[in-house]
């Protein structure tokens, strides 16, 4: 059983493929706050076997309590029962996922079981569902320590929920998420901090980040950021025109852009992102927990607000979030399914509009932390 548990933990670490624009190299990971009860039990030889490994019946009545499988067909319910009996408790207790659901004392199990049902409804196979489940367990059990510092912020300091975004002005997925993220912040009132994470594959990204930092020194980060997210190209002459059009003090703007502090600020954000495990943009952290889509951000913000006893407003739609709702089973069976939150190969490979070189004096993005 020790070997099996270690295999589980290795598999979880390998499932961290990030949606959006990808980092050129791998990242270091944040510390994982997964309880060690299961590992201790495994070492002592006292860990119980997961519930029946034989294929369970396909009847909903044979599933753990609290699992709503009424919209699954017989074969999908069979796969659901297998997954829940074969996987470990997501809260780290030495028992199966199914036993955790029956016990009713692991909120993560209840939450994640609904996600498993959703993946099956989308037409995903057992292997895909298990991979998505392990990734969700890793994401929800990992807390990254990220200091907001003097980063640009929206929202009151007293807000109980803090969202930190690592973003790249030339990343098409960051551009798509920019306006919905501000809409989400206005709707829920959380603190939103922006961190620079220019990717090496985007030639003007670091220059744009330094320009945004220079605008921040005049209290106009969000004004210039919005302009850059909605404009192309982002070569230096174009960025200067945007800054001038937005009313920035150009003498101060140019001086702040050229200052070493602008480069240092960008490098500091890159280092913070690497340490937290960012390997693509946009990446979000909700009270330290990683999210890779706007839908995940909203879900985690709502969970955090509810835990804090706050009144919840109505949910924003997928359209409000700038995303497409998960495919129905019929649609998923008509085409090869894509895991929730992942970008298709065509989307990731889609070329962006050509842009001019990085402004003179701009250094390449900092090397990732090893």
How does pLDDT run along the chain (370 residues), one tens digit per residue? Answer: 444 444 344 344 333 333 578 654 433 333 333 333 333 333 334 434 444 444 433 334 568 877 888 889 999 999 999 999 999 999 989 999 999 999 989 988 988 999 999 999 999 999 999 999 998 898 888 899 999 999 999 999 999 999 999 999 999 999 999 999 999 999 999 999 999 999 999 999 999 999 999 999 999 999 999 999 999 999 999 999 999 999 999 999 999 999 999 999 999 999 999 999 998 999 999 999 999 899 999 999 999 999 999 999 999 999 999 998 876 544 444 444 434 343 433 333 333 333 333 333 333 333 333 3
Chain centre distance of CA 180: 15
**CA 88 to CA 106: how far, in whole Å?**
12
Q: What are phi and psi of 34, to 5 degrees?
A: -80, 125
The kind and range of the H/E element at 142 are: none
Q: Is the dihedral of CA 228, 276, 306, 91 positive or negative?
A: positive
Number of C-beta neighbours around residue 50 at 10 A: 20
CB neighbour list of residue 306: distance below 8 Å, 6 or more residues apart? 312
Place of tokens 């909203």: 298
Tokens of 273: 């992102």
Tokens of 147: 């200091």
In terms of Cβ atoms closer than 10 Å to its own Cβ (0-12, 13-18, 19+), residue 79 is buried
Tokens of 133: 């489940």
pTM recorded for the entire structure: 0.70
């Amino acid at each position: 059983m020790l070997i099996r548990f270690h295999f589980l933990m290795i598999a979880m670490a390998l499932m961290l493929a990030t949606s959006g624009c990808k980092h050129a190299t791998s990242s270091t990971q944040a510390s994982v706050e997964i309880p060690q009860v299961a590992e201790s039990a495994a070492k002592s030889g006292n860990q119980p076997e997961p519930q029946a490994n034989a294929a369970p019946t396909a009847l909903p009545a044979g599933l753990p309590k609290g699992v709503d499988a009424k919209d699954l067909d017989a074969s999908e319910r069979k796969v659901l029962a297998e997954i829940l009996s074969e996987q470990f408790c997501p809260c780290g207790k030495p028992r199966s996922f199914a036993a955790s659901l029956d016990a009713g004392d692991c909120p993560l199990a209840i939450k994640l079981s609904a996600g498993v049902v959703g993946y099956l409804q989308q037409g995903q196979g057992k292997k895909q569902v298990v991979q998505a489940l392990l990734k969700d367990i890793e994401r929800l059990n990992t807390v990254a320590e990220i200091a907001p510092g003097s980063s640009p912020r929206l929202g009151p300091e007293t807000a109980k929920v803090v969202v930190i975004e690592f973003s790249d002005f030339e990343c098409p997925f960051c551009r798509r998420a920019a306006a919905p993220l501000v809409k989400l912040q206005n709707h829920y009132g959380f603190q939103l901090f922006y961190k620079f994470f220019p990717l090496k594959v985007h030639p003007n990204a670091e220059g744009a980040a330094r320009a945004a930092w220079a605008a921040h020194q005049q209290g106009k980060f969000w004004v210039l950021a919005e302009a850059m997210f909605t404009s192309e190209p982002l070569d230096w002459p174009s960025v200067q025109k945007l800054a001038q059009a937005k009313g920035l003090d150009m003498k101060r703007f140019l001086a702040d852009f050229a200052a070493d502090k602008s480069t240092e600020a960008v490098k500091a954000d890159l280092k913070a992102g690497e340490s937290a495990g960012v390997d693509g943009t946009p990446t979000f952290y909700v009270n330290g927990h990683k999210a890779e889509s706007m839908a995940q951000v909203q879900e985690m913000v709502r969970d955090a607000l509810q835990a804090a006893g706050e009144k919840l407003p109505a949910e924003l739609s997928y359209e409000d979030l700038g995303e497409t709702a998960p495919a129905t089973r019929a649609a998923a069976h008509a085409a090869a399914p894509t895991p929730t939150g992942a970008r298709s190969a065509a989307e990731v490979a889609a070329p962006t509009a050509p842009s001019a070189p990085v402004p003179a004096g701009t250094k390449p993005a900092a090397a990732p932390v090893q």
